[in-house]
Amino acid sequence: MEKMLIEGGHTLNGKVRISGAKNSAVALLPAAILADSDVTIEGLPEISDVNTLGDLLEEIGGKVKQDGQTVHIDPSQMVSMPLPNGKVKKLRASYYFMGAMLGKFNQAVIGLPGGCNLGPRPIDQHIKGFEALGAEVTNEQGAIYIRAKELVGTRIYLDVVSVGATINIMLAAVKAKGKTIIENAAKEPEIIDVATLLTNMGAKIKGVGTDVIRIEGVESLHGCRHTIIPDRIEAGTYAIAAAAAGNEVIIDNVIPQHLESVLAKLREMGVEMQAADEQLLITPKNPLKSVDIKTLVYPGFPTDLQQPFTTLLTKAENTGVVTDTIYSGRLKHIDELRRMNAIIKVEGGSAIVSGPVQLEGARVTANELRAGASLVIAGLMANGITEITGLDHIDRGYEKITEKLLNLGANVWREEMTDHEIEQFQNS
C-alpha cells in the first residue's frame, strides 16, 4: 500500500492532458454487452474502475483486449451469468450491468453496488424504470434479481434527476419492444456519450441532452468503434489546482462548454483564463475573492468538483459558502482540511470557508475519490509536506495523477507505507 507525499509551494506551469471521462467509461463498457459483435472504445482512462469493469465483462464470457487506452470487447460469447458478489461491490457503476444485461438477456442478478460513501445513494429510480419496462425486481440477500418475459417500451417519469437511472433505463430500453420515453432525464455530457455509442451500435435514440429522451426499440445491436469524451471532472480538478497553485497552466483535451458553471465561478473569484477549441489556459491573479457555490444537476455546478473547490476557497478573501444539494453527506474532506489549518464551519449541511489562510502540510486520509482530489490540491498549496493515505480512492478516478502533477512542476511522489502506517490507516 502506498501513500502520496506532496511538498507544497511549487508553482504549477505547463500543459496537462486530460484523459477520457471516467463516468462515461464506466457506462460505455457495460453498454458493449448489448452488441452482437466487436465493440472498440478508444481513449479510455487508465484507472482501476475501468480494469474492474473489464474483469466483470470477462466473468460473463466477454473477450476483452486492452491495448493502452483502447479496449476491444467481443461480446458474442457473453452469457447471463449472475454477479451477486465479488468485483461488483468494488464500484458504484457496476449497476450498469443491470440495465445492459436486462436489455440483452431479459434478466440480471447483480450485487448491490459499492463506490464512494457519500451518504445514502438509493437506486429506486433505476428499479422503477426496469419495472415500468416489464421486469420483476427483487432484492435477495444484497443482490438485485431482475427478470422479464419481455421488455416493452413505456413512458417513465424520473422522480429524481439521476445520471445512473437515465443511463440504466436507456440500456434496458434500446432493445425493448416499441417506444420508451424517459421524462425528467439527466442531461450530463456522459449520457450523450453513452447514447452516441448506442446509436453507433444501431439504437434509435432522440432528445439526449434534453430532459425528454425518446427511444425506439430495435431487434439487435451491432459492434462499432467509439471515442470517449474528455473527463470534465478531471479537467475541472486541474483548473482548480491551477487556480490554487499555478502560474500559467494549459489544460489540453477539454470541452470548455462542459465546465461552464465551474469556469464562471473561477472567473468570479478573479481567475483569468482563455478558452480555445480543446484547451483552457488558466492564469490566476492574486488575491482571489470568495464565492458561494451550490451543486446542481448539469449544467449546474457539479457535485464532483465541490470538494476540490472548497480547498481553493481557503485561499480566497472573506467567506464562501459551499452547499451540495446532490449529496448532502459529501463533507468528508472537511475534517482533513481542518488538520491542514483550514477554517471551515459546517452549518445546516453547508460548509462555510473563511480565508485567506496558509494551509500547512499534515498527514491526511482520502476517504473517497473527490475528497482525495481536494487533499491533493491542498497539498500543492500547503507549507511543507502533506502525506495522503487512501490512494485507492484517488486511483479509481484520476489517471497517472502523480506523473501529471510532476510534469506541471509539483514536487510529488509515492512511497510504500510501513506496516505500522498500514495498521494505523486501517484502524482510522
Q: Does 331 bind ligand EPU (CB under 6 A)?
A: no
Q: Does 213 bind ligand EPU (CB under 6 A)?
A: no
Q: Does 39 bind ligand EPU (CB under 6 A)?
A: no
Q: Does 87 bind ligand EPU (CB under 6 A)?
A: no
How far is CA 43 from each of CA 25, 86, 164, 248, rounded to the nearest angstrom?
Answer: 9, 27, 22, 26
Q: Does 50 bind ligand EPU (CB under 6 A)?
A: no
Give the contact letters, 254-283, x = binds to ligand EPU (CB under 6 A), - = no: ------------------------------
Q: Does 349 bind ligand EPU (CB under 6 A)?
A: no
Catalytic residue, candidates 18, 57, 116, 203: 116
Q: Which of 326, 371, 388, 408 binds ligand EPU (CB under 6 A)?
A: 326
Q: Does 224 bind ligand EPU (CB under 6 A)?
A: no
- Cβ nearer to ligand EPU, comparing 171 with 369: 369
Whose cell is 479509481? That residue is 396
Q: Does 334 bind ligand EPU (CB under 6 A)?
A: no
- Nearest distance from C-beta of residue 24 to ligand EPU, angstroms: 8
CA torsion angle 114 117 121 127 (round to 10): 0
- Nearest distance from C-beta of residue 186 to ligand EPU, angstroms: 6
Buried b (16+ CB within 10 A) or exposed e, 98-127: bbbbbbbbbebbbbebebbebeeeebebbb
- Cβ nearer to ligand EPU, comparing 379 with 397: 397
115-123, 134-142, 312-320, 349-357 -> range binding ligand EPU (CB under 6 A): 115-123
Whose cell is 490507516? That residue is 425
Considering only residues 116-175, where is the footprint of ligand EPU by CB under 6 A?
116, 121-126, 160, 162-165
Between CA 201 and CA 207 the distance in angstroms is: 17
Q: Which of 69, 237, 303, 386 binds ligand EPU (CB under 6 A)?
A: 303
Q: Does 304 bind ligand EPU (CB under 6 A)?
A: yes
260-269 helix and 306-313 helix, angle to the nearest 10 degrees: 0
- Nearest distance from C-beta of residue 124 to ligand EPU, angstroms: 5
- Cβ nearer to ligand EPU, comparing 103 with 355: 103
- Nearest distance from C-beta of residue 152 to ligand EPU, angstroms: 21
- Nearest distance from C-beta of residue 420 to ligand EPU, angstroms: 30
Phi and psi (nearest 5°) for 255?
-105, 100
Q: Which of 369, 380, 391, 394 binds ligand EPU (CB under 6 A)?
A: 369
- Cβ nearer to ligand EPU, comparing 295 with 389: 295
Tell me the chain's radius of gyration from C-alpha atoms: 22
| Residue 199 and residue 224 in contact, taking contact as beta carbons nearer than 8 Å | no
How far is CA 307 from each of CA 77, 295, 377, rounded to the nearest angstrom?
Answer: 42, 11, 10
- Cβ nearer to ligand EPU, comparing 139 with 274: 139
- Nearest distance from C-beta of residue 209 to ligand EPU, angstroms: 15
Q: Does 329 bind ligand EPU (CB under 6 A)?
A: no
Q: Does 109 bind ligand EPU (CB under 6 A)?
A: no
Task: Please identify the residue of the shown chain whose CB is closest to the bound ligand EPU.
Answer: 164
Q: Does 311 bind ligand EPU (CB under 6 A)?
A: no
How far is CA 260 from each of CA 138, 228, 251, 302, 309, rounded to the nearest angstrom?
Answer: 41, 20, 14, 10, 14
- Nearest distance from C-beta of residue 425 to ligand EPU, angstroms: 21
**Edge to edge, what strands does the sheet with 136-140 contain?**
107-111, 143-147, 136-140
- Cβ nearer to ligand EPU, comparing 144 with 369: 369
* Cα-based angle 372, 373, 377 (whole degrees, multiple of 5): 120
Whose cell is 456522459? That residue is 190
Between CA 183 and CA 155 the distance in angstroms is: 7
189-200 helix and 22-31 helix, angle to the nearest 10 degrees: 30
Can 116 be counted among the known catalytic residues? yes
- Cβ nearer to ligand EPU, comparing 54 with 202: 54
Active site residues: 116
- Given the rule CB under 6 A, which residues bind ligand EPU? 23, 26, 92-93, 116, 121-126, 160, 162-165, 186, 233, 303-304, 326-327, 369-370, 397
